[in-house]
Every structure is written in C-alpha cells, then in structure tokens.
A and B are shown apart, each in its own frame.
Chain A
Amino acid sequence: MSDAAPILSTLNWRGIAGRALTALVGLGFLYLVWGLYLLGEPLFAVIAFAVGALGVSFFWSAKFYKLRFVYPGIAAVFLFILLPVFYTSAIGFTNFGARNLLSLERVQAYHLSLTETDAGSKRPFGLVIEGEAFRIYLPESGDKPALLTDAIAGTATTAEPHSGEAPETLPVKTAIQNRAMLSELTITTPDGDLTMAGLRDFAASRPAFTLGDNGALTATDGTVMVPDHDVGLYVNEAGETVAPGWRVGVGFDNFTKVLTAEGIRDPIFKVFIWTVVFAFSSMVLTFSFGLGLAVILEWRHMAFKNFYRVMLILPYAVPSFISILVFRGLFNQNFGEINLILSTLFGLSPDWFTSPVLAKVMLLIVNTWLGYPYMMLLAAGFLQAVPRDLYKAAALEGSGGLRNFFSITLPQILPPFVPLLIANFAFNFNNVVLILLLTRGGPDMPGTLVTVGSTDLLGSFTFRLAFQNSGQDFGMASAISTLIFIVTGLIAYLNFKAMQNYANKKGSGHNG
C-alpha cells in the first residue's frame, strides 16, 4: 500500500519507495506470465498479465487512487472464487481425468520416450572379475568381434575389441546378484550403445515409435497408431485405444451423461433429493431447537441464564472437524459408546454406518447438534428487538405463553430471519465437510456405474468423484459442479432478493 498523495508534485521519498515497490511487483508478474506461457498455460498467462497490469496501473497512477483500496481484495476474490468457478465449468466440457490428464505434446513425448530391444543386436555377455572391480566380456558373435569393457564404475563404460584368449567369466549367479548394477549400465561399443536385455544378453535399444505426419506414431513392426482427437487417445490398427490420453473438448457429453445415462442419472437424482431433504431438515431442526432454547433463556423468570448460555454454545465453540470425528467414533457399531449404552439399556445395536436410513438419521442428529447454537445466538439477538409493548398488550388481553409465541414472537422475528435461513439452507446444501468426515458418503448404493453413497450430498459425491474414487473423472465432476453452481446461484439470488425486501420494508437501505 503506497502512501503517495494524489498530487504528484508532492512526491517524497515514501512516494518513490511506493513506486519502486510497484515496479518490483510488476516485474514479478512479468516473470510469472513468461513462466506460465512457457509452461503451455496461455490462459493462466493472460489472466496473470491482466491482474498484474491492472494492479500496477492502479498503484502507479494517482488517477486510480480510490481503486487501490478495493483492488487487492477484489483480485483475490476473482482469482480464487470466480475464476475457479468458471474454470471448473469449462473443465466440465472436457474429458479431463485420470486417463486424459496430459496435453497432446506430453502424450507424444511419452510414447516417443518408450524404447524396445533391437533383437538383431543381441549378444551374450559374461562378468569378469579383476581385483575388486567387474568387467564385462562380450564374446565374438556372428561378424562382431569379441569385446571387453573397462573396469565398471558408475553407470557407463566403454568396450574395446579384445583379441587373444577369452578371459574367465563368472557363473550367471553373479550376474543375478549384481542385477541392479547391470540394469543401470550402458556399454559404449564401436557398434553403438548396449544395455542389459536379460540375464545372459546385452542389446541395443531403439525408440518404440517414430513420429509421422499428423501426429501418427509408427511402431518398429510397421504398424501405425493415429491420434483420435474426439476421445483424446491414440488408436492402434486393431482399433484399441492406448493410454495415456490428452484433454479434448467433448461438448455437452458429460452433461448428457449426468442427465440421461442409465446407472448415473438415477443415483444422481436420488442424491439431489437427499441433498434437498438434508438441507431443509437441518434448517428446520436447528432453527426449532435454537429458537426454542433462546425463548426459554429469554424468559424473565429464568435463573442461571449465563451458565446455560455458555454450556449451550459449547458445540459451536469446538472446531467442527473435531466434533464430527468424535461422533464418527461414538457412533461406531462395534466399539462406539453410543451403541454400548443403547445395548445396555435397551438391548439395541443399530448399524449406523451400514443402514442407509440410520446413516441419514445419524447425519441429521449430528448436524442438529452442530448447528443449533448458531441459530440460538441469532434468535437471541432478534428476540431483543421484539417490542416489549406487544407482550404487555397481549397480557392485558389474557393471552398465554404459547399463543404469545405463535402470534407475536414468530411473526416478529421471522422476516429478519428469512435471509439467514436461506443462507443456512445453502450452507447445508453444500455441507461437504460433514459428509466427508462422518460417513464418507457410505453406505454405497448398489448397482451404479459410478460410486454413489446413499448419504452423499451432491457436493460430496462430486468431490469424491474427482479426488477419492479410483476414476478421478475431473470432467464429469466439473459438469456436476456446474449444475450445483447453477442451483446455488439461484438460492443465492433468492436470498439476495429476500434481504433487499426486508431492507426496503424496514426503510433503511441495506443495499448501500
């Protein structure tokens, strides 16, 4: 942050230092842009350039003085929230995944780096010991003369023609014992380099493929693999695809698969229903418990309010990842304390982690435990704002506690609560951490093409599809993410409208 005053003539040493720092940051960005470009990431290079250029010009020119205050924050939000959202959506239109991870250039480079043994150059060898060091003797074979290497040290050695009597070679056993050393070794001979091709032979190796026109790869036996740019894989003459593949655009394929393919569509639809049910039930449960407790705490005849409040806040104060893992242990079917108590008292031993219904019940119990204190705190705040006169008037009319609650308290606090309830719904709609730490989505649904758990939320299902299951299908995961973004965006917009509504009704401009 530079202290430069808006008037340039007042440039002092602090202003100069600010300029120097800005220039330095600019140079850093140029280095980054260049590096990203060389790496083959032109998109990231352009974005880095734009972010850097805007930043430098805002901090350089006094004309943009105001924007200096906002720019770093907005840039962080753009780079690490907005850009990832759009980039994820873009990945949804590709086949990016474990099988199609690289770029075409890197796939070609991989195939071209493969080598195979040239059978014609194969020649037997024997180990010769001389003092402490080994030498390798390659006896005469065909028209090639006998060769003997220098004493072996390291991974390369040179062989010279050897005339006269063959040296005494050690048994194959020794070659086996020194296999590691031999397999690393390259022998330079007058006919080219040889490497180990078995326990008895050394041979020359050659590239398995040569690059032809249009990226075609010709194998040493004359067969040709051609790149198929629709699937991002090489296809050999037998019509089989050869891994690894590269990323290609696949249009709406991932989206069509998610919305129509048998074995994917139905489980995802079930996951969606459960996600909505989970988010809604969590909202209702935490709200009811939170509000109920807050009302009791607000009751004027209540004693020990502060003690109760602190105790009730405790689940909110403990880091949630710890509480969730604690519940994972307590609910354990075999040695968890909850089943221990249930079986002693009632002879019950519910299978919390293998029954889909019980697993869902467990999630709601845990999430209510985690979430009610927040609602209680909010409700306590809003209850303070309910005008006391209303209750006094009601008391004169002879209204009872329950009636007061439903005809005064609830109608008074619900409007300001609505945006927060919607936000809570959105939060639980994407409550990935709870699922990942407590059930990891399990128990799995039977008979699905991709691994789907019956307690999976859309978000946790997607996260596991991308990072935890064997498939690592980034493309499909991103397509589902995009759908979730759309739903979340709708909820967010709804929430935004609700807040505006409330603000307008109150007559104070919340939306600045």
Chain B
Amino acid sequence: MVEDKKSLLWRKLLAHGFMIGFIVVIMFPFLMVLSISFREGNFSTGSLFPEHPTLEHWQLALGIPYERANGVIVEPPFPVMLWLWNSIKIGLIASAGILLLSTTSAYAFARMKFRGRGAMLDTLLIIQMFPAALTVIAIYAIFDALGQVVPFLAIDNHPALILTYLSAITLHIWTIKGYFESIDPAIDKAAQIDGATPWQAFRYIFLPISLPILAIIFVLAFIFLVNEYPVASVLLRQTDKMTLAVGARQYLYEQKYLWGDFAAAAILSGLPITVLFLASQKFLISGLSDGGVKG
C-alpha cells in the first residue's frame, strides 16, 4: 500500500508537471504579444519585460495620434476601432438573422410533415462541408450584378456580406432541431387544443423554452462570423469598410511591417471576443459536441 501511494504521488507530480509545461508553451505567444505591444518601435527585439515601456502602440490602436519624445507625431496606421465596429455590427446583425432563419426552419423540420423534408435535411448536412473560400468567384459575380441594380447590395457594402452570411445556418438547423425534438409533444398538443396556430406554438412555447440553446447558437454564429476571412476579403475592398479579420492582415506586409502596432491592436480587438467565448464556454461545450467543427 505504501508503495502504491508513493507511485500515485509521482504520477500526480508528473501530470501537473506536464500540464504546467504544456500551458507555458501554449501561453508563450500571448505573453510575447503583450510584451511586444509595450515595446518601442516596430522592429526591435527585446526581453519579455520591455526596458522602456511605451504606450505608443496602444494609443495608435485606439486611433489617437502619438507624440514621441522628439516631437514627431505618429498617425494611427489603420482605423482599428472602425474595423472592430464593422466586425461587431456585421456579426450581430448576421447572427440575429441566422438565429431567426435556423429556428423557424428547425421548428418545421422537427414538428411538421411535408414533402422533401428528409432530402432537405440530408442535403443540408452534406453541403455544410463545402468550402466558402472556393465559391467566392461566383459570390463576387452575383453581388457585382446585384449591386448594379440595387446599390444597397453592392460590393464594398456591408448588407451584401450580411446576406451571404445568412447561409451559414446548415449546422445550426440540425442542432436546434435536435433540441426541439427533445421537447415533449404533449405540449404542442395542448396548445393545438387551445386553438394556437403552429406559428403561435413556435413563438410562445418553443422559443421561450429554447432560450439557452438559442444563446449558444447566437454566440457560435457570432464567433464564426467575426473570424470569417475569405468571403469578407473578396466582398470588402475599401479600408474603411473592412472587418477586423480582413484588415488585420495589412499590418504584417514585408514592405510595411508594423509588429508593435499589430500587437496592441490584436489584444485590443481580440479581447472582447475571447472574453465572450470564455464567459459562455460552459454552455458552448454542450452545443459543440452536438454540432460539427468550428470554422
């Protein structure tokens, strides 16, 4: 027995040692970026704790011109806050749209019988794997044409992107459908007897019951959309229209390498999304194992 306890202690130490070592490696990029964002200049290398910490990069990321000690005034290189706002705006509107379309569809798939139902569901599951990055030529052509008729939907206009994003409902329909199917059919029966239309049953019974899963879908959709790069990069060309995912890339071109500025902008803009994710992670995990892959 004594032997066993000793070996258990060793195994515990080993497990914790491994965990801590692994986490240090994983955390390395985050710590480096934090340090770089306080470093002077955009090229310099230095220790983990900068010798001459400066707020230059942070001030620039917030869109405030910075005056160096020698009187030189540095203008912010990119409108980071505007990009963040664009990302959040597009993400919120499109996620709300996705939620609306996927809950109504999921309700019909879960509770109604109509022709083509099974085929539609199977098709949804298969086409969710098709890479949006490879259909961008066609998406570009579609909005190029639409924009000439309805300027509201032109390239470089956010509604075009939001409309495209509404198609990201395939997996969510399956997830919500699974949830709706777990609701006791006796409830709709009762509603039906009381004279409720299917829409009323959906609006006043199913929606309120499903709020937790709907919150999960909303957050998942939002995170996916904020991260989306290929379609946004083709539909948004002007600097002041870009989302963060499209714009952030401009910091690290060989000809114009703004490492320090990027670090501050990355933390500033990545933090809200990270916090949102961590805050909802407990609920997200259940949603994840029902669904497929992030991204």
Q: Are B108 and A36 in contact (CB under 8 A)?
A: no
Q: Give the number of chain A interface residues (Cβ < 8 Å).
A: 103
A contact residues around B288 at 8 Å (CB): 374, 377-378, 381
B101 touches A463 (CB 8 A): no
A148 to chain B, nearest CB (A): 46
The distance from the CB of A71 to the nearest CB of chain B, in whole angstroms, is 9
A82–B29 Cα distance when bound, in Å, is 39
Specify which chain B residues have a CB less than 8 angstroms from the CB of A87 in the assembled complex.
135, 138, 141-142
Interface membership of A312, Cβ < 8 A: yes
Q: Which residues of A contact B234 (CB under 8 A)?
A: 467
Chain A 479-512 near chain B by CB (<8 Å), digits 1 or 0: 0010011001101110110010000000000011
In this complex, what residue of B is CB-closest to A43? B145
Residue pair B170, A32 in contact (C-beta under 8 Å) = no
**Which residues from B are CB-within-8-Å of A466?**
136-137
B166 to A80, Cβ gap below 8 A? Answer: yes
B19 interfacial contact with A, CB 8 Å = yes
A70-B104, A463-B134 known; A329 vs B262 contact (CB < 8 Å):
yes
Are A322 and B270 in contact (CB-based, < 8 A)?
yes
A3 within 8 A of B: yes
Q: Which of B130, B134, B199, B227 has the most CB of A within 10 A?
A: B134
Q: Is there contact, CB below 8 Å, between B131 and A432?
A: yes
Nearest CB of chain B from residue A489's CB, rounded to whole Å: 7
The residue from B121, B136, B202, B262 contacting A325, defined by CB atoms under 8 A apart: B262
A216 within 8 A of B: no
> Do the beta carbons of B227 and A320 come within 8 Å of each other?
yes
- Of the listed residues A74, A319, A430, A484, the one surrounded by the most CB atoms of chain B closer than 10 A to its CB is A319
Tell me, yes or no, whether A386 is within 8 Å of chain B by CB: no
Which stretch from B20-28, B53-61, B70-78, B209-217 is at the chain A interface?
B20-28
Contact between B130 and A322, CB atoms less than 8 A apart: no
Query: Contacts A311-B27, A484-B134; is A380 near B149 (CB within 8 Å)?
Result: no
List of A residues within 8 angstroms of B36 by Cβ: 329, 337
Measured in the bound complex, the distance between the Cα atoms of B18 and A302 in whole Å is: 12
Do A66 and B137 touch (CB < 8 A)? no
Considering the complex, which residues of chain B in the window 107-162 have a beta carbon less than 8 Å from any beta carbon of chain A?
107-109, 112, 114, 118, 120-122, 124-127, 129-139, 141-142, 145-146, 148-150
A242 to B185 Cα, complex, angstroms: 69
Decide if A65 is an interface residue (CB 8 Å cutoff): yes
Assembly CA distance A114 to B117 (angstroms): 57
Given contacts A36-B149, A296-B15, contact A301 B122 (CB under 8 A): no
Distance of B48 from chain A, by nearest CB (Å): 9
Check B192 for interface membership: any CB of A closer than 8 A: no
Give the interface size bracket for B toward A: 35 or more
- Complexed CA–CA distance, A66 and B292 (Å): 28
Residue of A nearest to B169 (CB): A73
Q: Kindly provide the distance from the CB of B280 to the nearest chain A CB, expressed in whole angstroms.
A: 10
Q: Which of A280-318 contact B (CB under 8 A)?
A: 293, 296, 299, 301-304, 308, 310-318
- The answer to whether B130 touches A39, judged by C-beta atoms less than 8 angstroms apart, is no
Give residues 100-151 of A contacting B (CB, 8 Å): none
Q: Which residues of B contact A327 (CB under 8 A)?
A: 29
Could you say which residues of chain B place their CB within 8 Å of the CB of A312? 22-23, 26
The answer on a CB contact under 8 Å between B8 and A84 is no
- Is B173 close to A, CB under 8 A? yes
Contact A328 B252 (CB under 8 A): yes
Does A252 reach chain B (CB closer than 8 Å)? no
Interface string of B251-285 (1 = CB under 8 A from A): 11000000100110010011001100110010001
CB pair B32–A330 under 8 Å, yes or no, is yes
**Chain B proximity of A323: nearest CB distance (Å):** 7
Is the beta-carbon distance between B105 and A41 smaller than 8 angstroms? no
CB under 8 Å from chain A, chain B span 1-28 = 8, 11-12, 15-16, 18-19, 22-23, 26-27
- Least CB distance from A270 to B in Å reads 19
B186 on the interface (CB 8 Å rule)?
no
- Whole-angstrom distance between the alpha carbons of A3 and B226 in the complex? 33
Cβ-closest chain B residue relative to A384:
B289
Partner of B138, one of A83, A308, A432, A495: A83
**What per-residue 1/0 map shows which CB atoms of A264-276 lie under 8 Å from chain B?**
0000000000000
Answer whether residue A22 sits at the interface, using C-beta atoms and an 8 A cutoff.
Answer: no
CB contact between A485 and one of B22, B102, B130 (< 8 Å): that residue: B130
Check if B129 sits within 8 Å of A326, measured CB to CB.
Answer: no
Inter-chain contact B269/A322, CB cutoff 8 Å:
yes
**Which chain B residues lie closer than 8 Å to A36 at the CB level?**
145-146, 149
- Contact of A477 with B by CB under 8 A: yes
Chain B's nearest CB lies how many Å from the CB of A488?
6
Known pairs A77-B169, A423-B293; list 18 more (Cβ under 8 Å): A66-B108, A66-B198, A69-B107, A72-B104, A72-B105, A76-B101, A76-B167, A84-B136, A85-B138, A314-B278, A318-B273, A320-B227, A369-B26, A381-B289, A436-B229, A459-B134, A492-B127, A492-B129
8 closest pairs, A vs B, by CB? A35-B149, A84-B135, A430-B131, A69-B108, A80-B167, A84-B138, A87-B138, A73-B101
Interface residues of B (CB under 8 A from A): 8, 11-12, 15-16, 18-19, 22-23, 26-27, 29-30, 32-33, 36, 43-45, 101-102, 104-105, 107-109, 112, 114, 118, 120-122, 124-127, 129-139, 141-142, 145-146, 148-150, 163-164, 166-167, 169-170, 173, 177, 181, 197-199, 202, 223, 226-227, 229-230, 234, 244-245, 248-249, 251-252, 259, 262-263, 266, 269-270, 273-274, 277-278, 281, 285-286, 288-289, 292-295
30 residue pairs of the A-B complex, CB under 8 angstroms, read A3-B199, A31-B149, A39-B148, A65-B198, A70-B104, A70-B114, A73-B105, A73-B169, A73-B173, A76-B167, A77-B127, A77-B167, A77-B170, A81-B127, A296-B19, A299-B15, A308-B19, A313-B281, A322-B269, A329-B262, A329-B263, A332-B259, A374-B293, A433-B227, A467-B234, A481-B135, A489-B130, A492-B125, A492-B130, A512-B118
